[in-house]
A and B are shown apart, each in its own frame.
Chain A
Amino acid sequence: MELVQQSPETGLERVLALRPADLEGWESAAASEIDADLAAQLRERDAQLADLLREWSKDFDAADVPDVRGSDFVGLPQGRSSVEPAALQSSARRRLRRLRPSGLPQALALAAGFAILCFGSWQVQQSSQSTTSETVPLPSAGWKAVSGTVSTRVALQFSVERRLQSGALVEPGRAGSSYGAADSLILRVDLRGEPAWVYLFEQTSGGPPTVLHPSAGDGWRLEEGLHALSSGDGQPLAYRPDQPAGATRYLAIATSGPVDAAGFATQVLAAGLDRPDLWPRPVRAVDSFVVDWME
């Protein structure tokens, strides 16, 4: 039951304020009972307000809208709130201690808050010293995707999970940006064309490329589509280096078969990301971006 005074004035205010589809019979009927001169005066003034409202309601230009994409969220946990319950955090923290590389400051994991779950099955593996000895200079900005020589394309994408006082925030990643101690990367691979084995690498300035994923085994064989980096039990992995400092390159290499990943990364980087004719077989496509980690 609507508890309003069904006066002519109320009826007219409703008629002026609402679209016809939202009006009830009594509202229109009550409005018709109001003094004609007063009604005309109110209608005229309201029409001017309506003009103003139409102007006010004009949409934004496309350039004004942030470039948020659905793929920014693929691979993040579902069914949980942005601030995780303490019990879940504890559970994730235990998993983190077990799986993350030694030497990672505990504070990093604690600062991550919600990101702790994503860290859950940390699988960063340092590359073997015996497989790489070359160093490749880093450019100051990120590269765009480079297509391979055959019908396979790979795009290495990322989101950034930032731990703020108000909770966890996920933003689209921007190559060339600087990230700090409370940030971690959520990596995704968009593979187009033929199925391929995909390997992910990290390279800090002046250092050799090291394998990020897969940590062991026959490689990460992917069908065409968007794939989030996740552990064996389906937990998405968020990543940040254990000693964050300076420009760091993240590299995806797609091959037609399993390879000695670390050695191939070095050869691809030495050949140049824009020289697919010089890449070792069976490399099909590569993509890379650079971010700047601040301590």
Chain B
Amino acid sequence: MTDRSDRPKLDLASDLGQLSDEDLMLRYAEGQAAAFDVLVLRHRRRIYSFLLRRVRNPDRAEELLSDVFLKLHRAAPRYTPEARFTTYLYTIAYRASLNAQSRQRNRLDQGVGGLNELDSVRSCAPAAGAPSPDRALRSQRAVARLDHELAQLPEGQQAAFILYYREGLSCAEAAECLGISPAEVKGRLAYARKLLRERMSGFLDAGGIDLS
């Protein structure tokens, strides 16, 4: 990891794009505002995507996206590059999504919940094994069905699954985000994948899926 003292001395905003995430964060902690702009631009897409998969509501994901970067901004003075920056950022995002899910559950308990927007795909997902005349449409339905099945996974499995398969984190990095051991992440991934194969059997048994 980079130490404050041996970082390259670049001052122009255009050069910031060449710096690592960790260097940008340290620069921001030192007061270089443009460094935070680069960080946000670099990561907002993947963090929004992660949050959207987690909370399954675009408006809530957008709120959380602001919240994540606000937390990152606030953490800047005490930031030390001990782990990969992306792991650090996903940890913030994961906790934010966990809190949001908890609040959502409370609202649902009080009867104030709204439609889970990504779950609306459920209406177009056929029952497992149902015949479909069009392979492309069947593929779309299969993906929608997969997304729906993922949403049914226990929270811990779902989070590990998204971090590993969608966000591309390693087992060790996902473990750090989730606050569990890498072995536990492996177990969750293997179990979730096995479960999904079973729950998607209707699609998978029907001679494969054309995703071209």
Binding site for B on A (CB under 8 A): 2-4, 10, 13-14, 16-19, 21-22, 45-46, 48-49, 51-57, 59-60, 62, 64-66, 68-74, 76-82, 166-167, 169-172, 225-226
Interface of chain A, main secondary structure: mixed
Q: For residue B209, which residues in chain A have a CB less than 8 angstroms away from its CB?
A: 48, 51-52
Minimum CB distance partner of B63 in chain A: A169
- Smallest Cβ distance from A179 to chain B, in angstroms? 16
Q: For residue A76, which residues in chain B have a CB less than 8 angstroms away from its CB?
A: 70, 73-74
Binding site for A on B (CB under 8 A): 28, 33-41, 44-45, 48-49, 52, 62-63, 65-67, 69-71, 73-78, 103, 139, 142-143, 146-147, 150, 165-166, 170-172, 182-183, 186-187, 189-194, 196-197, 200-201, 203-204, 208-209, 211
Minimum CB distance partner of A13 in chain B: B190
- Contacts A4-B187, A74-B33 aside, 11 further interface pairs with beta carbons under 8 A come to A13-B191, A13-B194, A22-B170, A45-B201, A52-B200, A72-B69, A74-B36, A81-B74, A82-B67, A167-B67, A169-B66
Specify which of B143, B146, B190, B196 is in contact with A14 (CB 8 Å cutoff).
B190
Q: How far is the CA of A171 from the CA of B70 in the complex (A)?
A: 10
Q: For residue A62, which residues in chain B have a CB less than 8 angstroms away from its CB?
A: 45
Q: How far is the CA of A56 from the CA of B121 in the complex (A)?
A: 13
- Smallest Cβ distance from B142 to chain A, in angstroms? 6
The 5 tightest CB contacts between A and B, nearest first, are A70-B37, A70-B36, A70-B40, A73-B73, A13-B190
- Smallest Cβ distance from A41 to chain B, in angstroms? 11
Specify which of A18, A51, A77, A166 is in contact with B186 (CB 8 Å cutoff).
A18
Quick check: B186 and A73 within 8 Å, CB to CB?
no
Quick check: A60 and B45 within 8 Å, CB to CB?
yes
Quick check: B103 and A166 within 8 Å, CB to CB?
yes
- Smallest Cβ distance from B107 to chain A, in angstroms? 10
Quick check: A57 and B165 within 8 Å, CB to CB?
yes
Q: How far is the CA of A167 from the CA of B64 in the complex (A)?
A: 11
Q: List 21 A-B contacts (CB under 8 A).
A: A13-B194, A14-B186, A16-B190, A17-B186, A17-B189, A17-B190, A18-B190, A22-B172, A22-B186, A45-B201, A45-B204, A49-B197, A52-B146, A54-B211, A64-B48, A69-B37, A69-B40, A69-B41, A79-B74, A79-B75, A171-B66
